[in-house]
Amino acid sequence: MRTAALQLRPLHASFLASPITPRSGPLPRRVSPKCSRSFHASASWRTVDLAFDVHDNGGKATGAPIVVLHGLFGSKKNNRSISKALARDLSRPIYAIDLRNHGDSAHHKIHNYTVLADDTEAFLKKHNLKDATLVGHSMGAKTIMAMALRDPSCCANIIAVDNAPVDAALASDFPRYVEGMRRVEDAQVKTQKDADQILEPYAKELPVRQFLLTNLIRDSASSPLRFRIPVRTLAHALDDMADFPFTDPEKARFNKPALFVRGTRSHYVSDETLPIIGRFFPRFELVDVEAGHWVISENPEGFRRAVVEFLEEGE
Query: Which of 75, 138, 270, 297 is flagged as catalytic?
Result: 138
Pairing of strands 216-218, 157-161: unpaired
Say whether 138 is catalytic.
yes
CA distance 82 to 70: 12
N- to C-terminal Cα separation, the chain: 33
Q: Using the 8-state DSSP alphabet, how is residue 179 labeled?
A: H
Contact assessment for residue 64 and residue 128, using Cβ atoms and an 8 Å cutoff: no
Say whether 127 is catalytic.
no
CA distance 9 to 6: 9
Query: Which of 55, 70, 293, 297 is flagged as catalytic?
Result: 293
Q: How many residues does the chain have?
A: 315
Q: What would the DSSP string read from start to end of 155-172?
A: -SEEEEES--SS-BPPPT
Residue 120 CB neighbours (<10 A): 28
| Active-site amino acid positions | 138, 293
